[in-house]
Amino acid sequence: MPHTIEAAKTGRASCRSCKQTIEKATLRFGEEVPNAFSPGEMTFQWHHLKCASEKRPAALKQALEETEMEIPEKEDLLKTCEVSGKNQKPTTFPYAEHAPTGRASCMGCSEKIEKGDLRVAIEKEMDAGAFAGKSAGYLHPACAPDHTGEEPVDLFEKIKANTLNLEDSDMESLEEEICG
């Protein structure tokens, strides 16, 4: 897992959420993101744990569940992650959502994805010369494993970890559609 929790080694980094300095030896959450200044390399963006539980709930939740460190107030942080996650759109691909419009076509089968249907969002490389970059691409859940080349179960687990704002019943139908 690319995210990490550690005690700050210096007091120089500031929190991406609240912009305040993260004091040396304070526990901080690092989210691994592509380095904008050095293509192909990764770098960490740091957050106070409390701030991350509000702004990066899915990522922090995964890190809290995986870390072997003793985290004071871990239960409270996890609860905040749940609550914040319910109220915001996922920030990490792949995730699932209800299609807000019926305009997007599936990258797998090229058919339209109906408004309101569950869809899987993945990161799409755009190759448009100077405008090359990344954006979201959408898939029918059933088309997602083939298109991404991932095992259905692995893909579903990733989506589940990144998606905190859907109902349990939505996650169940998603699992059925992806895993067949």
Q: If you ran DSSP here, which 8-state letter would residue 138 be given?
A: E
Which one of the spans 36-44, 73-81, 132-140, 170-178 is the region binding Zn ion (CB under 5 A)? 132-140
- Residue with structure tokens 């083939």? 146
Nearer to Zn ion, 22 or 166 (CB): 22
The secondary structure element, H or E, covering residue 56 is none
Among 4, 6, 14, 18, binds Zn ion (CB under 5 A): 18
Q: Which residues 6+ apart lie within 8 Å of 110 measured at CB?
A: none
Taking the C-alpha atoms of residue 84 and residue 43, their distance in angstroms, rounded to an integer, is 25
Question: Pattern 47-86, binding to Zn ion, x per CB under 5 A?
Answer: -x--x-----------------------------------
Q: Which is nearer to Zn ion, 39 or 149 (CB)?
A: 149
Give the other-Cβ count within 10 Å of 143's Cβ: 21
**String marking each residue 19-48 x if it binds Zn ion according to CB under 5 A:** -----------------------------x
> Token pair of 153, please?
């179960």
Which range in 17-25, 54-62, 121-129, 162-170 contacts Zn ion by CB under 5 A?
17-25
State how far the Cα of 75 lies from the Cα of 134, in Å rounded to an integer: 35
Interface with Zn ion, residue 108, by CB under 5 A: yes
